[in-house]
């Protein structure tokens, strides 16, 4: 009997011990309030496509990494070096989840900086918010990232598709009140974001001005049929919400069949090299898009100190990258925004404070943003950039014209 009782006691004692150790361990994790931060380092993570169909975007983060390296060479941020861990997710959401969990649970990063891609960010959206890890300045134009109420740990960066569309809408209302607008859009969230923003921008007049909406699926071999319909309905304004291949097709087809509307091309496909050149530079003349970053090849920025600094940086820290590629300008600006937030957070590098600082950026003007474009956030406004300027393609490059449109409040 005695032995049995002592056995029971022993078991109970052991159980208690296990529980206590467990509690201490758990408490230990909870108390380590500043993961990813040591006296000499701050660790930040990222996922991006360095392989696969979207690998062209990878260069954005390569530029950011190079920028952090430059900051480290200049003694880091508040004396801490930035350790930047960027994993390849191949633009595949399941791999984004896997890599992000690795960043958070094994690498113990302070935050996830500029993860790339709408589907990829959607996949980790609730995870990041459940574990309260900042998902900052995500690289996607979807409008869903500015939702501080339900997703206070996630913030976008670039102007959203909706706000870009609203820019075109404002311009059309101002300059072409008699427009007959035909829309072609990709039948998914990306396309609908644009069209919703466009309709909201036009307001009540939209119903009258939009004469036809056509869609396509990414499996469609061509969009000839849709272009023919838009021409035949007599549209004189064409709002073109297509990804690069279809944008090239649309530009060429419209030109071929002799349809010459005022053609608003979404910024997604505004690349001269990979969209306009294949479509034909002559056919591309007169296209209109909206920009927010400086095009470093534009002669008007010759001698601009910001551009000069950027070109020198690219030469020294990322010589294999193409300095004229707009993607690299984005990577540079993103990294600058991140460094700004880390600096402002000062000694308090807790995750909560990082979000607080990110949500209180006031009129930050970075040298590679167009004059008049600024980064501005408040605890209820998680859309950092909300200005754009229109540009027209002159056969060589995008030529800025008109004023800078502020579409604050139209990002959603």
Partner 1 sequence: MQTFVAQVISGLSTGGIYASIALALVLIYQSTGLVNFAQGEMAMFTTYMAWSMLNAGWGYWPAFVGACLFAFALGFGLERLVIRPLETAPELALVIVTIGLLTIFNSVAGWIYTYTIKPFPSPFPAAPIKVGFMVLNPQDLGVVGVTLLMLALIYLFFHSTRLGLAMRAVVENPVSSRLVGIRVSWMLALGWGMAAVVGAVAGLMVAPLVFLEPNMMGGVLIYAFASATLGGFSSAGGAVVGGFVMGILENLTGTYITLVGTKLKLTVALAVIVLVLLIKPTGLFGRAAVRRV
Return residues touching partner 1 (CB under 8 A): 52-56, 187, 214-222, 224-226, 228-229, 232, 244-245, 248-249, 256-258, 274-275, 277-278
Closest to partner 1 by CB, 275 vs 335, is 275
Q: If residue 291 lies in a helix (H) or strand (E), which one and from where to where?
A: strand 288-291
Closest to partner 1 by CB, 35 vs 58, is 58
Taking the complex as a whole, the smallest distance from the CB of residue 287 to partner 1 amounts, in Å, to: 17
Taking the complex as a whole, the smallest distance from the CB of residue 46 to partner 1 amounts, in Å, to: 21
Q: Are 165 and 195 spatial neighbours (Cβ–Cβ below 8 Å)?
A: yes
Secondary structure class of 264 (helix, strand, coil): strand
Structure tokens at 345: 């957070």
Closest to partner 1 by CB, 252 vs 356, is 252
Q: Cα(269)–Cα(316) distance, rounded to whole angstroms? A: 29
Taking the complex as a whole, the smallest distance from the CB of residue 142 to partner 1 amounts, in Å, to: 20
Taking the complex as a whole, the smallest distance from the CB of residue 279 to partner 1 amounts, in Å, to: 8
Structure tokens at 321: 């990258």
Taking the complex as a whole, the smallest distance from the CB of residue 246 to partner 1 amounts, in Å, to: 9
Rounded (5°) CA angle 294-297-303: 80
Closest to partner 1 by CB, 146 vs 321, is 321
Sheet holding 210-216, edge to edge: 210-216, 181-186, 237-241, 262-265, 288-291, 387-393, 398-406
Q: Cα(68)–Cα(332) distance, rounded to whole angstroms? A: 9
Among 406, 321, 327, 396, smallest CA distance to 371 is for: 406
Q: Are 156 and 384 spatial neighbours (Cβ–Cβ below 8 Å)?
A: yes
Taking the complex as a whole, the smallest distance from the CB of residue 187 to partner 1 amounts, in Å, to: 5
Q: Are 380 and 143 spatial neighbours (Cβ–Cβ below 8 Å)?
A: no
Among 109, 74, 262, smallest CA distance to 124 is for: 109
Closest to partner 1 by CB, 33 vs 188, is 188
DSSP at 369: B
Structure tokens at 111: 């935050």
Q: Are 64 and 334 spatial neighbours (Cβ–Cβ below 8 Å)?
A: yes
Closest to partner 1 by CB, 102 vs 252, is 252
Closest to partner 1 by CB, 250 vs 323, is 250
Closest to partner 1 by CB, 223 vs 335, is 223
Structure tokens at 34: 């500043």
Structure tokens at 7: 């056995």
Taking the complex as a whole, the smallest distance from the CB of residue 273 to partner 1 amounts, in Å, to: 8
Taking the complex as a whole, the smallest distance from the CB of residue 119 to partner 1 amounts, in Å, to: 16
């Amino acid at each position: 009997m005695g032995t049995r009782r002592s056995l029971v006691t022993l078991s109970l004692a052991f159980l208690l011990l296990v529980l206590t150790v467990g509690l201490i361990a758990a408490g230990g994790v909870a108390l380590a309030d500043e993961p990813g931060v040591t006296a000499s380092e701050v660790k930040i993570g990222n996922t991006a496509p360095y392989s696969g169909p979207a690998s062209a975007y990878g260069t954005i983060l390569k530029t950011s990494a190079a920028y952090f390296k430059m900051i480290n060479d200049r003694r880091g941020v508040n004396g801490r070096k930035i350790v930047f861990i960027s994993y390849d997710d191949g633009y595949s959401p399941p791999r984004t989840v896997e890599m992000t969990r690795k960043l958070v649970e094994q690498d113990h990063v302070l935050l996830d900086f500029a993860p790339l891609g709408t589907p990829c960010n959607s996949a980790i959206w609730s995870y990041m918010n459940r574990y309260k890890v900042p998902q900052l300045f995500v690289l996607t134009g979807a409008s869903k990232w500015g939702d501080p109420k339900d997703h206070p740990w996630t913030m976008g960066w670039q102007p959203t598709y909706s706000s870009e569309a609203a820019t075109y809408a404002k311009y059309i209302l101002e300059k072409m009140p008699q427009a007959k607008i035909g829309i072609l859009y990709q039948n998914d969230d990306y396309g609908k974001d644009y069209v919703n923003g466009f309709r909201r921008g036009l307001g009540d007049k939209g119903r009258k001005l939009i004469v036809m909406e056509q869609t396509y699926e990414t499996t469609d071999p061509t969009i000839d049929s849709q272009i023919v319909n838009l021409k035949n309905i007599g549209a004189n304004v064409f709002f073109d919400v297509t990804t690069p291949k279809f944008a090239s097709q649309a530009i060429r087809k419209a030109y071929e069949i002799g349809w010459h509307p005022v053609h608003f091309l979404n910024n997604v496909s505004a690349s001269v090299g990979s969209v306009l050149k294949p479509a034909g530079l002559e056919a591309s003349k007169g296209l209109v898009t909206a920009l927010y970053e400086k095009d470093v090849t534009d002669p008007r920025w010759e001698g601009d100190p910001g551009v000069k600094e950027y070109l020198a940086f690219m030469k020294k820290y990322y010589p294999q990258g193409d300095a004229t590629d707009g993607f690299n300008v984005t990577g540079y600006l993103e990294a600058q925004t991140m460094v700004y937030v880390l600096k402002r957070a000062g000694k308090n590098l807790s995750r909560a404070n990082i979000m607080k600082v990110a949500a209180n950026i006031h009129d930050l003007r970075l040298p590679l943003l167009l004059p008049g474009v600024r980064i501005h956030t408040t605890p209820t406004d998680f859309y950092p950039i909300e200005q754009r300027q229109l540009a027209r393609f002159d056969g060589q490059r995008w030529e800025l014209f008109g004023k800078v449109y502020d579409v604050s409040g139209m990002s959603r």
